[in-house]
Structure 1
């Protein structure tokens, strides 16, 4: 089974942060989780709010635990809010069902997730996907 290496996790974060800076995004925070939902790496840009870890983690955690990216979680929350409320109860309130939670895949298998927060959810996805591309991994946003 393939897993996200520390080098890949750091590459994802460095590239996502650099993409945010290059594109003029607000300061980003980026977390990379393994397939079990455990933190592999995290970084918070200078100027990013200190509470951003929880948001980035919640985006990624929801993606890996549910096997669906943040965009799909948001659609599900809009269509069936009771379902996402129940899911969040199951996971101790740690799921943030919005874009910016990206599944990480290798050979079609989920090996983790990336959570990015700090700018708009759409821009958070742009940064996450750039990071995954730089690390040679596929993402589902």
Structure 2
């Protein structure tokens, strides 16, 4: 079950998940942005009473958003939870486009989910970054891909 996260303090399971997607010293700052900014939303996926995935988005327009953070607990990775969270966000907000920037470690995940991938080159010394974009063909129906 997916639910929007809207309360302080940061739930320990959300804190752990965000630590996979951002540096530990930025978790509180990023979490606060999700709670306070109307352009942002943070969703958690709960299985058997535990939050095992989270996806944080920022709206660029009413039908386009950027994935700022996405993380799945290591014990349930490989079960399409990340893909399901993306589908949920796309359907919930009737998106026509969803974007992300990622590193070499996660680019295959986006590729597998039908995102078009463009290398941004070495944005940071020794680290290649990628721009990922998915255009939803039928924003009011289910997302393909």
Give TM-score, length-normalised by structure 1: 0.33
> Which is greater in Rg?
2
Give TM-score, length-normalised by structure 2: 0.32
RCO greater where, 1 or 2, for CA within 8 Å and sep 6 or more?
Answer: 1
